[in-house]
Structure 1
């Protein structure tokens, strides 16, 4: 029985996501070992313009064959990736954001002047669009740290990922799902990404077990959207992808700080690239 070494950050959410992948492989007869790696981002060496602070050390471990796989939240992956690495997208959950508050209020029910915490430019932009009367305050840290600040009364509400709350078993918190058709998610939100070394022969056996056609399609669409918009996790744009039998509905959002732009394109499932280009052109005001 072959052993697979899985690299992950040491945060609670990252470990849970690594275990999700490990159990998936275990079901097919593989043994696994979890390799915890502290990233620059975990050490607080964080630059919003440099997303690789959360992924680089994990990727280095895979390239050096110290690990076979590196598990990430897809939305943490930089748009420019190392060509020595491949990526699979085996798992996805609800892409939506949720509003967590002490009173289980919807975004439109929060009292005027309520303090709402988030570090995402996209979330800040959408909140300013729908509720310009709220006080949006920058808040960083892992989910537990953010929830603690809410419990301490330093915030009235937080915006977080529904998928993260579910994976952490925090669904007992008072939260309202924000409709992703209007409060558009970050590209790749809710998807677990697995990076591997293309020259690692062991991975060939794993691909069929880690390949998910629907998730892979959504991930590729949203990764390309991310690249075409020339951004990473930290830019005010979002995308909501709905996949049907033959077609894909793409709804996009972008804000340049002075205006908010929404656009929708319905495109063929097999030839989505043209539709994606149309969507980006509309968001950038090119057409």
Structure 2
């Protein structure tokens, strides 16, 4: 059996696709082909994602190839995948979560707290920007796009005093030594599903779905379900500063989440936890939705309206 994996061309995307290819070859008698696809998000590198459409830009062309039958599965950083998928496609497996935290990188400084007033810190993530403001109002935040290597090169060339990247991607690429500090989820709530690899396939392709079953990590699927339910309820994307993080420990499922305005002046954060039931997927979905609705009722609706009005103006 041959499996064609659709993937972006970046170093990290190829690492992720090869990781899944290796797992498939170890556990089944299959031949794997990587089909490299350039997405809209890869083409537009000089504009923040919030201004050009957000998450779906990194998966649209890959999903189109899957619907046309040109590829069999796609391997995504799940944080890049919208909660609404094209009809006929679905996330059928999620691998064990890599470290979901955000990492601080700097040539001169060991943490965000060591940066001098007025220092330039690089990120294009609205989620990170609002949480940086919460930690250090006196820093300059400058947009930063490009793949991991490009971002690190810009830091080392002195264009930035520090940058913030996902720790998961750095670990996968063997670049942990570049990291000066790792934020706790309490300091900086991660992006929804940061650290998860999601495998997307056609829902009517039973052979492929059966092949992928053994790659799915049940706990990770539950945690991702909670976080994606939170995001879906808020109808959020790259245009809105928000984040959510779910963890399961000692029979307790816990999710923390926030939503903020673009200036970080209104910052709403809540935490919910429950004892795990015998229907964990439904419970996770309900818990994520409940947390989102709590934030909406406490001022989140007004924040969303203001953010979307401003986005249209810009």
Aligned to 2:15: 16
**1:264 is the counterpart of 2:276:** no
SS class of match (1:22): helix
For 1:22 and 1:275, the matched residues in 2 are separated by 33
SS class of match (2:87): coil
For 1:34 and 1:175, the matched residues in 2 are separated by 34
- Render the CA deviation track for 1:84-125: whole Å, top value 9, x for unaligned: 102121242011001000135111121111100000001000
For 1:39 and 1:220, the matched residues in 2 are separated by 25
**1:38 is the counterpart of 2:43:** no
SS class of match (1:250): strand
The structural deviation recorded for 1:286 is 4.0
Find 1:59's aligned residue among 57, 63, 66. Answer: 63
The structural deviation recorded for 1:67 is 0.8
**1:99 is the counterpart of 2:99:** no
For 1:108 and 1:188, the matched residues in 2 are separated by 27
Moved over 6 A (4+): none
Using the size of structure 1 for normalisation, the TM-score is 0.94
For 2:210 and 2:190, the matched residues in 1 are separated by 33
Is the contact between residue 181 and residue 240 of structure 1 (CA under 8 Å) also seen in structure 2?
Answer: no
For 1:53 and 1:278, the matched residues in 2 are separated by 28
Aligned to 2:209: 204
Find 1:156's aligned residue among 141, 161, 170. Answer: 161
- Render the CA deviation track for 1:60-90: whole Å, top value 9, x for unaligned: 1111111110111111111221121021212
**1:276 is the counterpart of 2:291:** no
Find 1:171's aligned residue among 173, 176, 182. Answer: 176
The structural deviation recorded for 1:50 is 4.1
Aligned to 1:213: 218
Gaps of 5+ in 1: none
Is the contact between residue 184 and residue 240 of structure 1 (CA under 8 Å) also seen in structure 2?
Answer: yes
For 1:104 and 1:193, the matched residues in 2 are separated by 34
SS class of match (1:248): strand
For 1:208 and 1:273, the matched residues in 2 are separated by 21
Q: Assess, with a 3 A threshold, how the Cα gap between structure 1 residues 204 and 75 changes in structure 2: closer, same or farther.
A: closer
For 1:86 and 1:206, the matched residues in 2 are separated by 15
SS class of match (1:285): helix
Q: Which moved more, 1:277-286 or 1:254-263?
A: 277-286
Is the contact between residue 8 and residue 15 of structure 1 (CA under 8 Å) also seen in structure 2?
Answer: yes
- Render the CA deviation track for 1:162-183: whole Å, top value 9, x for unaligned: 0010111111214210111221
Is the contact between residue 226 and residue 287 of structure 2 (CA under 8 Å) also seen in structure 1?
Answer: no
Aligned to 1:85: 89
Aligned to 1:114: 119
For 2:289 and 2:212, the matched residues in 1 are separated by 29
Is the contact between residue 201 and residue 208 of structure 2 (CA under 8 Å) also seen in structure 1?
Answer: yes
RMSD of aligned C-alpha atoms?
A: 1.7
Q: Which moved more, 1:55-64 or 1:199-208?
A: 199-208
Using the size of structure 2 for normalisation, the TM-score is 0.86
Q: Assess, with a 3 A threshold, how the Cα gap between structure 1 residues 21 and 93 changes in structure 2: closer, same or farther.
A: same
The structural deviation recorded for 1:221 is 0.9
Aligned to 1:232: 237
For 2:42 and 2:260, the matched residues in 1 are separated by 29
Is the contact between residue 261 and residue 283 of structure 1 (CA under 8 Å) also seen in structure 2?
Answer: yes
Is the contact between residue 222 and residue 284 of structure 2 (CA under 8 Å) also seen in structure 1?
Answer: no
Gaps of 5+ in 2: 300-314
The structural deviation recorded for 1:283 is 2.0
Is the contact between residue 54 and residue 238 of structure 2 (CA under 8 Å) also seen in structure 1?
Answer: no
Structure number with higher helix proportion: 2
Q: Which aligned pairs between 1:66-77 and structure 2 lie closer than 5 A?
A: 66-77=70-81
